[in-house]
Chain A
Amino acid sequence: EMQLVESGGGLVQPGGSVRLSCAASGFAFSRYSMNWVRQAPGKGLEWVSYISSGGNTIYADSVKGRFTISRDNAENSLHLQMSSLRAEDTAVYYCVRPSGYCSGGTCYGAFDIWGQGTMVTVSS
């Protein structure tokens, strides 16, 4: 069974940091680009960050310079280092696998596999 399991969320103070992790299983993780998507309480879905199978990264403007996505293909894991956190970063963070196409070294896709999500609350 293809599965993504996130961990690392919790309560963080404004300005603080937290590292999210996502463990992948049941598919060839190293061959896929991966993304993080978040959802603030009662709100819609927001794409956060992308990493290619080889480690190239793209970020939403709202998190650029504060968040860092990384992966360990040997460990089948994805990470999101979140720093300088703000109240508006409060959300459920989902690790997602895209299925689509690649062009010019960047891959694009609809998200066919989602983790269960991990909640990050930024509050004093």
Chain B
Amino acid sequence: AQKITQTQPGMFVQEKEAVTLDCTYDTSDQSYGLFWYKQPSSGEMIFLIYQGSYDEQNATEGRYSLNFQKARKSANLVISASQLGDSAMYFCAIETGFQKLVFGTGTRLLVSP
């Protein structure tokens, strides 16, 4: 069965600094996808970035990039130039087939001025 592990319950970063949120996964599938979602205090789930297992390049979306290390089964999210609005919960997820997602327990990021 697929599993996502997010070992950082909380992270702190100063505004304008970069931060890395860790995500490791476990799967026996050869083809899979990894997603990151953001959940601000208002509660909605916002899609940030996707990485396919066969993608040779690390995914990037604006200030978000995914440090994908397939051999280590890690898919860390890097947020560059943090902003106060980045304060939120961040969830890593793996697609398990039929587009189902298995989520990690999340990391709460707090950006300070």
Partners in one complex: no
